Structure 1
């Protein structure tokens, strides 16, 4: 009778305590698993006696991190394979990978078989140059936005030696980990290549053992510790069964990142290892399986909407562009008064101009550059056509543009003559950055515009893309307008900042470089963007390996 009454109470009490312990562990930033040199768990109580989450420190230690789930807040591998397939191989390859997703889920996304299936679909027949371009210009943005702030700040940054282990092929993570994260060693699978003629291609097959096999364990031991048999100090993973990781036997301490911590601890932009200024690719969202399916379902409708929206700007008069665009999902917001110089500014500027220059010149609109349709949006806001100059534009964009576009030659004297001639006939729009930038940064302003006119008005333009970026550095630039207007709800903001005061122009004694820097700061303050010294050449050399010139 005693056993029948006491044992159930003991069992209930034991289960309740076990539940409380599990909740306490899940609330911690890291779940402590074991320490080879100690049998006691580190204290989580501060000097005041209150309980705080235990966050270890990696100072002066060798730290081994599982990249997906340790350094990154998510364990998912499929979205990054999808980025390789879509951006490196095209939409058809991305669709094939999406069709293979049920098989990947059945095998396990992080299992050896699942990784091999995704690797084969994403890399088979892909050129190493295309994969390298994705790894350098596209993936760092998505990696950076999903870094775990606590793992990065407490363990990775202060570590004496940094080791990253990934289940994905090393080619897609190594550049980011070494260039942005200062990793000492990156352990991952290698890919087989085959030579066809003079070109090399990936076969889609992995060299040697899979990412979770015993062979990878020996590879990790050899690359990280050499032949001396040393051990790492700390290992950080996130897995349902952390002891399955191949590098665990060579680490003294093991920590498992809790799911709650990973979902809430994102690294803010100001704490990035390096500023994320340039990136390429068309996809503006992380292509998880549900998001990719929705993207492919919407793509035909998006193309139709894009054609309609572009036709509105070409065919319809300016007076009804706002209403027609809003009916088809374009969000357009404008503020300020454009085209009106400050009182007395034009007269003062004309008095200071030489007799050889025409007296009645137009206003020079100095704009930020977000997409190729910036001058068109400026024209729509002004309700009158304004010519624009550009360094490089595809033939299709020139044909469908509802305004006059003039190419510059990169010859300073000839470009100055061209812009002066256009200003003598009326207003002119110019983007001194010379190229587009997606992130909240302004590139260096060329001072040429400041040498041509003192009647200037800065115009802050900003564009928002939800699914598809309307710019590219290495892809098909003629698709830029089509891609931007294929977004479900493309948005544009145009803000006129008023004419540049005379004391900040060359007529007021400033140099052209000082004028350009002042206008850049004025536009940066209006948009909340940071001003940089990077140029058009810096962007294209990093993202595409060229100077960004499109053949006429």
Structure 2
């Protein structure tokens, strides 16, 4: 018997399904890609590093042989073992919450999603470990029930084995569905392979999702909840080929990143040319303000920038041709030591911080990042209004970075490695846009409140970058990625 005995999912109507119960497989059904290798590779690299990714890649031929020629269940068991063995369960949960949703959301099958989103009660039944998929399915897609393979643990670590009844494939899927729903028969079942037949036949209507990797994924804008915060180092989904390229590139890329970082030790006027010679591209838009001699009572220029990576302040100095001190709330001791510009820690006490910034502006120009943290998605986090109270010499700066292999920032990993990961990209690029100095009528001196000034600066930067503004703060980001808040929604 073949799964093709069922009609294709395109023939399933989505009208009048508000009270219907749907049960669907995950990989190859709700997702376009039938292979889950890339998602396991994301966990392997994010939690275990490049060596774990290497082991997973070396084991992939064996997993493929077992999966296609011996037993689907055994192939998946080997995949789970190589990826998870010895990992802290808390680290797996963290990766599932902060790393995987971004990639899962970009791989939703349009026809399966059409049916899925139209049903009143939704259940996902998958061979993938529940610990990997549940945060995405419940927090972002509104799934009611997630039934996946359960992993064995010992003293807070994964053993690499799975709990009874084993990997949810074939009869195990059907038995799990029966034990969950009892005598209640689900209305719709969606599957994509022959081993899905046992559970699909338990539903009133069964549909087949044909393999079509070229079908256009659902736009992330159509999802019930946007993904604003995500973490992890990898930019592209690590298929076996991409994983191989990453593994081969890292030794050379790290050496190259160290050379690029040394460019920051050169005299500031030479940094631009040294960076360009080593493949770092800096695109300057607008008119960077020249350095001017100021009187004793005159304030220096305050550059108010959106925040992308720890390189922001360094590259701002590079394009201006002079070192620009910067204030920061947090910086690793190692990053502080190697920073080629002066960095000043703030205390998070508003009065004390205001005094520090005022004194610094009397001495020279200064850079500040009022978002307080980085954000990868096209959103700007809420700007602190502190800067608006301290000076009228404000120049907004919009920053955009382009990377092809590694993200240059992390919330959960080693922060001191951020600058190296950014510079490990083959051709890292920064686009820096300088706005004109804030007009008098948009400063506190004209009677505007500090919040009005901060909101105005945030708005002009967001409009230039085609970003959306949110009221999320640095604290919201770290709460979300730490898993203490499972209902992070856009508040704009």
- TM-aligned CA deviation for residue 546 of structure 1: 9.0
Segments of 5+ residues of structure 1 without an aligned counterpart are 1-30, 36-40, 43-52, 351-357, 548-552
Structure number, greater radius of gyration: 1
Task: Name the residue aligned to 2:118.
Answer: 158
- TM-aligned CA deviation for residue 360 of structure 1: 1.4
Question: Quick one: distance in 2 between partners of 1:448 and 1:545?
Answer: 29
- TM-aligned CA deviation for residue 102 of structure 1: 0.8
Question: Quick one: distance in 1 between partners of 2:279 and 2:160?
Answer: 41
Provide closer, same or farther for how the CA distance between residues 340 and 531 of structure 1 changes in structure 2, counting only shifts above 3 A. Answer: farther
Question: Quick one: distance in 2 between partners of 1:32 and 1:111?
Answer: 19
Task: Name the residue aligned to 1:250.
Answer: 202
Mapping of residues 194-233 of structure 1, within 5 Å:
194-195=154-155, 200-209=156-165, 210-223=167-180, 225-226=181-182, 229-233=183-187
Instruction: For residue 205 of structure 1, give the secondary structure of its aligned residue in structure 2.
Output: strand
Question: Quick one: distance in 2 between partners of 1:520 and 1:244?
Answer: 50
Matched, 1:527 2:484: no
Task: Name the residue aligned to 1:321.
Answer: 271
Mapping of residues 53-452 of structure 1, within 5 Å:
54=11, 56-57=13-14, 59-60=17-18, 61-108=20-67, 111-152=72-113, 154-195=114-155, 200-209=156-165, 210-223=167-180, 225-226=181-182, 229-239=183-193, 241=194, 244-260=196-212, 263-315=214-266, 317-339=267-289, 359-452=297-390
| Contact 1:66-1:164 at 8 Å conserved across structures | yes
- TM-aligned CA deviation for residue 34 of structure 1: 3.7
* TM-score for both structures, normalised by structure 2: 0.92
Question: Quick one: distance in 2 between partners of 1:340 and 1:256?
Answer: 64
| Contact 2:170-2:199 at 8 Å conserved across structures | no
Question: Quick one: distance in 1 between partners of 2:475 and 2:197?
Answer: 44
Question: Quick one: distance in 2 between partners of 1:329 and 1:475?
Answer: 26
- TM-aligned CA deviation for residue 285 of structure 1: 1.3
Question: Quick one: distance in 2 between partners of 1:322 and 1:65?
Answer: 54
Instruction: For residue 173 of structure 1, give the secondary structure of its aligned residue in structure 2.
Output: helix
Question: Quick one: distance in 2 between partners of 1:90 and 1:107?
Answer: 25
Question: Quick one: distance in 1 between partners of 2:429 and 2:169?
Answer: 45
| Contact 1:32-1:254 at 8 Å conserved across structures | no
Question: Quick one: distance in 1 between partners of 2:468 and 2:97?
Answer: 23
Question: Quick one: distance in 2 between partners of 1:139 and 1:282?
Answer: 12
Instruction: For residue 64 of structure 1, give the secondary structure of its aligned residue in structure 2.
Output: strand
RMSD of aligned residue pairs (Cα, Å): 2.2
Question: Quick one: distance in 1 between partners of 2:299 and 2:144?
Answer: 59
Instruction: For residue 419 of structure 1, give the secondary structure of its aligned residue in structure 2.
Output: helix
Q: Structure 1 segments of 4 or more deviating over 6 A?
A: none
Q: How many residues align?
A: 477
